[in-house]
Each structure stands twice: as C-alpha cells, then as structure tokens.
Amino acid sequence: MTTETAIAKQVAELAHYEAGFVTDIESDIAPKGLNEDIIRFISAKKNEPEWMLDFRLKAFEHWKKMPEPQWAKIHHPPIDYQDAHYYAAPKPKLGSMDEVDPKLLETFEKLGVPMRERAALAGVAVDVVFDSVSVATTFKENLAEVGIIFCSISEAVKNHPELVKKYMGSVVPYHDNKHACLNSAVFTDGSFVYIPEGVRCPMELSTYFRINEMKTGQFERTLIIADKGAYVSYLEGCTAPMRDENQMHAAVVELIAHDDAEIKYSTVQNWYPGDEEGKGGIYNFVTKRGLCAGHRSKISWTQVETGSAITWKYPSCVLKGDDSQGEFYSVAITNNFQQADTGTKMIHMGARTKSRIIAKTISAGKSDSTYRGLVKILAGAEGARNYTQCDSLLIGDQCGAHTVPYIESKNPTAKLEHEATTSKISDDQLFYCQQRGLSEEEAVALIVNGFCREVMQNLPMEFAVEAQKLVSISLEGSVG
C-alpha cells in the first residue's frame, strides 16, 4: 500500500467514526474540517498541557466570530475552512531520488542547493539519504553549552512551559486578526529560540536546519526571545521551490528583544506560486511582529518574497523601549498571476526610537504587487525618526505596482521621511547589457538584482547568493 492510499484509508476510517475519532490518537491525519474536537485532537497528538489547549480553544471561539481582513489589495474566492485537514503528520512522500520531478532537480542545480539537501527538499525520505538528525543534534549541543534553547515549539511547550506561557501571544495576541487567530487555534509546529542574557548566538540559526523546518506544516508558529544584551540571527525558509497540497498557510512569528538585545530575522519565501495561467498556488497569510521591549533593543526584518499565489504579510516592529530600533528590508517579486500585498508597521512608543524601511517591489507578467506600510508615532515617542523608501520596478505592460504608505504622528518632535519611485527597466539598460554579451534574461536578472541590492546585502552571505539566483529564476519568461 502506498502512503497516499494509506492516508486515504485512514481518513475514510476516521470519517466513519465521526465524533469518536478523537480517541484514535494513533492516526497520522485529522479528518477534514475545523471544530473543537479537531483542536482537542491536535492538542492530544502533541501531548500538550491543559493551558496550551485552553489557549487554542479560546482562539478558536474568537475565530468563529471574526471577519477576514478586507483591506489588502488581493482577490481570491472565499476560503472554505471546513475543506482542509488541520493536522497531518509530516511524511516523506517519495521513496528515492528517481521519483523526483526532473524540473525540480534542474532548479536545485540552478540555485546551487547543496547535494545532500536536495533529496530532503524534494520530499524523499531523509534518513535513507543522509543523517540530518545527528548534524542537528551536534549543533544543538553546542548551543546548549552557552545556554541557548533552540527547539521545536512543541518541545518548548513541554520543556519550557514558563517561557512559552509568558511570551506566546504577548506580541501577536490570538485575536489580532483572523489568520493569526486560526494559527493560534491550530498551529502545528514551528521553532522556539531563547538566547539568555549577554549571549551572542555563535551561528546563524536554522542554516543547518532548513530541512527539518519544512516539516512544520501549514500553520507554523515561531517564538524568539533575546534576553538582555543577547544577539541572534535567524533564517527562515529556503530558496528551493516548495510544493504543498495545503492551499492556505497562516504562520505567526513573534520576536521579543529585551534591553540592548538584537534580533535579525531573514526570510526567503518561495512557496509554489501557481502555474502560468494562475491555477493553484499557496495563499500565504502571515502575521509577523517583533517587540522591542527593552531600551536600546533592535529588531531587523529582511525578506525576499518570490513565491505563493497570494502573499499577505507585514512583518512589524513595536518600538516600546527608549532608543530602540526597527528595520524592514523587503524584496517582493511577482510574476504571472501572483498577488502580493506586503509591507510593515513601525509603531514608535519609546523616546528617540528609530525605524528604517526599504521596500523593493518587482512586478512582471500579469501580477499585482502592493507595498502597504504604517509608521505610527505615539505621543510619548519624543524625537522619533523614520526613513521610508519604496521603489517599484515594472517589467512589461500588464502588471501593477502600488504603494500605500500610512503615516500617523502624535508627537510634533518626530521626523519622518518618505521616498518612493516607480520605474521600468529601460530599453537602453537592456541593450547596453546585451551589447556586452548578456542574454535578455541575464540582463533583466542583473538589473533587478542591482535594484534589490540594498536589501540583498542585509541577508547572511550564503543566503544572499542563493537569493540572487532565485531572483533570476522567478523572472524567467517575463521578457521577450
């Protein structure tokens, strides 16, 4: 029996039992639908304590009453929340590399994804290919020596309940928005990081873990805490194209930086964007927020968004501590029929807080991309500063780019700057590059990478190289 028919069989069986299924803790997949029983099932699967289940149930009760956010410039048919599975144990789908789609392998080649990671990314059973567990364990041991906790959120719920209780939902409350609310009710897994006082995390977290990370499913939940004077750089996602049958992804990421702490969070998102006709693709509805709780703390978001049919995402900073700083560096590329509505919120509460926003939007094909940002200066934010720069680049004449900046200032001493440009790749630029030997596609990739440079250079080195190649791949077929 193949894995798929096995799953189908289990689903059929579970459906047959209806109400009774929750006791069947051995099954690997929950039946379709969303109700209280399903949430109890997920919680039971994870052996969660009562307080975690309560958190989920409270979120679910609220979710039922909550409307979907309507303000983004995106269009999709209504989502049938009852037509999805909310729990499925991650499983490798393929038995060997021979079964992998050759097109996917070709992309790995172009991206330069390390050989040992390819099988895992393609969904081949990992343990038969290489021993990732031992690699991960070694690094975790090294981190534990300096007191860093780095584990799955499920493990953290069990082993560090005091930290999870204290911080989960403290930055993104369960009732924040419909998508975050859903995540709070049904989150499957994700990462937990705690950096103790004065510790500088000696490595980029998750560089070595990206394979394990992909198994966290569609409702990912990440919680990162940097205690006083701590530093951590965290990488999320992966340049390799990721396919998933789950259409909707609703992740929540919360960051907390105490006095003098710094968190750098980098994302490369390349979920399946749908085909050239706009069929299929992931809806990526993500709530990411960082709290600069302490004085002189700093949170920096860097994102390269190339995938998903729809991206709805606003990594934000709440600048509560005096002299705290928030940064947002973004590249969003849409091609074919993709839609992206992404940007940030910088909420200035503390005195002399500073924020910087650099957003680069590239639209090609028939896609539509919006930068949406809010800079809010509260009354107490004496001497706050913000600099915002939004640049849009259009490729072809059938795409759209929009910039929607909101500014609210309640303190007259605040200084805010906003710059925005919209441009096209000029024929002169293309011809100049072609005359020097570049093909039209190479020329576009070079020009677009130049356009994104300010953002790309904030990415950790090895990530940046792959991200640059990803830019060219995402724009393939956009010219000529």
Partner 1 sequence: MLVIKNLTAEVDGKQILNGVDLTINDGEVHAIMGPNGAGKSTLSYVLAGRDGYEVTGGTATLDGVDILDMDPNERAAAGLFLAFQYPVEIPGVQMTNFLKTALNSQRKQRGESELEALDFLKLLKTKQKELGIADEMLKRPVNVGFSGGEKKRNEVLQIAMLQPKMAILDETDSGLDIDALKIVADGVNRMRGAGRSFLVITHYQRLLDYIVPDVVHVLAKGKIVKSGTAELAKELEKTGYADVA
Residues near partner 1 (CB under 8 A) are 426-429, 431-440, 442, 446-447, 449-454
User: Shortest CA distance to 60 belongs to which of 29, 81, 85?
Assistant: 81
Sign, CA dihedral 459-462-467-472, equals positive
Give the residue with the Cβ less far from partner 1, 116 or 424.
Answer: 424
Give least dist CB 455 to partner 1, A: 10
Give least dist CB 273 to partner 1, A: 24
Judge contact between 21 and 14, C-beta under 8 A.
Answer: yes
Give least dist CB 461 to partner 1, A: 14
Give least dist CB 401 to partner 1, A: 17
**What is the Cα–Cα distance from 313 to 341, expressed in whole angstroms?**
7
Give the residue with the Cβ less far from partner 1, 207 or 449.
Answer: 449
Name the residue type at position 230. A
Give the residue with the Cβ less far from partner 1, 422 or 434.
Answer: 434
**What is the Cα–Cα distance from 16 to 39, expressed in whole angstroms?**
19
**What is the Cα–Cα distance from 338 to 73, expressed in whole angstroms?**
12
Give least dist CB 260 to partner 1, A: 33
- The pair phi, psi for residue 205, each rounded to 5°, is -75, 135
**What is the Cα–Cα distance from 248 to 269, expressed in whole angstroms?**
14
Give the residue with the Cβ less far from partner 1, 180 or 433.
Answer: 433
Give the residue with the Cβ less far from partner 1, 415 or 453.
Answer: 453
- The pair phi, psi for residue 420, each rounded to 5°, is -145, 140
User: For residue 240, what are its two tokens?
Assistant: 């390799």
Give least dist CB 450 to partner 1, A: 3
Q: Could you tell me the end-to-end alpha-carbon distance of the chain, in angstroms, rounded to an integer? A: 47
> Which residues are within 8 A (CB) of 308 and not within 5 positions of it... i.e. 6 or more apart?
249, 269, 271, 272, 273, 281, 282, 283, 284, 338, 340
Judge contact between 283 and 247, C-beta under 8 A.
Answer: yes
Give least dist CB 388 to partner 1, A: 19
Q: Is 29 exposed, middle or buried (0-12, 13-18, 19+ CB in 10 A)?
A: middle
Give least dist CB 479 to partner 1, A: 12
Give the residue with the Cβ less far from partner 1, 250 or 446.
Answer: 446
Give least dist CB 447 to partner 1, A: 6
* Interstrand relation of 252-257 and 231-237 (parallel, antiparallel or unpaired): unpaired
Give the residue with the Cβ less far from partner 1, 407 or 438.
Answer: 438
Give the residue with the Cβ less far from partner 1, 37 or 441.
Answer: 441
Give the residue with the Cβ less far from partner 1, 251 or 401.
Answer: 401
> What count of other Cβ atoms lies within 10 Å of the Cβ of residue 63?
21
User: Shortest CA distance to 299 belongs to which of 243, 252, 260?
Assistant: 260
